Every structure is written in structure tokens, then in C-alpha cells.
Amino acid sequence: MSGITRVRCDQLAPALGDVEGNSDLVVASVERALADRVDVLVLPELATSGYVFRDRAEALRAAITTTDPLFSRIQRLLDGTDTVVVFGFAERQRERVRNSVAVVDASGVRAVYRKTHLWDRETLVFDAGDDAPPVVDTVHGRIGVLVCYDMEFPEMPRMLALAGADLIAVPTNWPVGEHPERDRVAEVIAAQATARGNGVFIACCDRAGTERGQDWNEASVVVDQFGWVVAEAPRGAGSTAVTADVFPTLARDKSTSPHNDWLGDRRPALYRREVPRA
């Protein structure tokens, strides 16, 4: 089992459509992470492109492929290190455009996941992915990947937990919404419940800045396998980094008492039965 892992969510503020400038933001974030000995760096959803596109054509103009120089720039920076970078990008696939996430280390692109659950106007801009989310084996444990709204569907993180994920990295763009001042935003509460229900660590990287009048929760968070917040962005902090030292492989112990286990206590055959209505 690996030892302590330094996880960082870097809450960047990408500019809509500025692929070159946003790529420089991503590279600078990687450089800071390496200087701070970060092991797993998570960046926002669509970090290279921005988010609030008017239509598919505008998104396609800001979309890239994994042959873009950004990926080789990151790989060169990571050469000789064990650091893993997870970041969102608008991905061009011929005339399709995906809301995608790449997992990159010193060996190159380890995995690309294409968001399968599109939120609100994303359905007018992006093509939903059809493949299951990946789990990537690293020296820092097994890293699963989701994107933002994907996490709201319990089946998605459960798939990753069953596949052996220790840490789920979730690039996000959480739009501001009303919530009671006494509570964290609902998305963070959902991350806590997801972590607890699956016995996994979760790192959600939100974004900062304003796009076409849209603001964001700026609520990046790292949650442990019991559902407790171990690091979070201060409310209204803008562009900031959230860093936590954790032991992701502790997630492999799913016991919750001497007689219980988060995954071992499941009864899948029961869940497939028809629910009686009295």
C-alpha cells in the first residue's frame, strides 16, 4: 500500500474560449504543484475552454484532442516524478464535442473519460459519453474519475468503488445556487454522502471567475473515506488551492464495525426485486 498522498484541488478561473491562455493556466498550476510536492492534482471541469458556451459551434472552436501540445507540455513537466494530473477539457471528436477529463502522468495520457450525465444547457452543446468511468492504477492508489453532475447518480461512484477506486477525482463547475447560510453547498454535502456510502476519498475541484454572468460556488473540497471534509476552499476565496495529505489506500478497508462492511453488506439480488405497493 502507498503511503501519504498530497492531494490538491486548484480552483482556477479559465477564460471562455481562450484555449492558449487557459493552457498556460493549467501548466502554471502543474508547476506550482510540483514545487509543493503534490502527488495528485485535480483541476476544474473544462479548464482549457471555459464553460458557458452559446452553442455547439462555439464549443467546437475551443475543443482540442489529446494530440494538443498541452498534453506533451504536462508530460514533460511530470517527467521523473510520480505526480498525477486530472483536468477537464473540451474534446473534439470529429464533429462531436465532449466534456472530457484526462488523467496524465509522466508516461503520458493514462485515461480519458467523457462525461455521461450532462447538466442543463450542456445537453445543447456537448455529446454525452457512453463509456464507464475509469479507474487508473498509480503509485498513489487507484484513482477513479467522474465529472460534476455524474456524482449525483449513486450508480456512478458505486461502479468506481466496486472496481477498487481509493480516490475519486471530480473536476466540477458548480454554478451558484441558493442554500442556507448554516450549511455547505448541496454539492459538497453530496460529495460527503458519496464518500461515506462507498468508503472512498473524494476530491472535487470547482472553478472561480465569472462567465457571461454565471458565478460559481468556488467550493473545492477533499473528503475522507468516512465522509468528513479534510480540506475545503474558504467561501468566496476565488482562485485558490485546497491541499490535503491523506492515505487513499485506507479506503480498501470497508469495515464500518467489527461486523459490517460497506460493500460486503450489499444485497444486490434484493435490490433487483420488485417493490411491493400496499
DSSP string, 137-167: EETTEEEEE--GGGGGSTHHHHHHHHTT-SE
Provide mean pLDDT across the span 31-46. Answer: 98
Q: What is the pTM of this model?
A: 0.96
List the domains of the chain with CATH numbers: 5-254 (3.60.110.10)
Helical residues (DSSP H) of 39-128, grouped into ranges: 56-61, 69-78, 122-125
| 3-23 pLDDT per residue, tens | 899 999 999 999 999 999 999
pLDDT of residue 1: 46
**pLDDT(92) > 60:** yes
* Catalytic annotation, pick one of 9, 58, 91, 115: 115
Strands 221-223 vs 201-205: parallel, antiparallel or unpaired: antiparallel
The three three-digit cell numbers of residue 37, written as one number: 510536492
Strands 260-261 vs 96-105: parallel, antiparallel or unpaired: unpaired
Q: How many CB atoms lie within 10 A of CB 226?
A: 14
- Asked if residues 6 and 40 have their Cβ atoms less than 8 Å apart, the reply is yes
pLDDT of residue 2: 60
φ, ψ dihedrals at 64, nearest 5°: -130, 175
115 is known as an active-site residue = yes
148 is known as an active-site residue = yes
| 95-138 pLDDT per residue, tens | 899 999 999 999 999 999 999 999 999 999 999 999 999 999 99
Distance of alpha carbon 255 from alpha carbon 265, whole angstroms: 10
| 147-175 pLDDT per residue, tens | 999 999 999 999 999 999 999 999 999 99
* Catalytic annotation, pick one of 45, 58, 91, 122: 45
204 is known as an active-site residue = no
Reported as a pLDDT band with limits 50, 70 and 90, residue 36 is very high
* Catalytic annotation, pick one of 9, 58, 148, 204: 148
| 219-236 pLDDT per residue, tens | 999 999 999 999 999 988
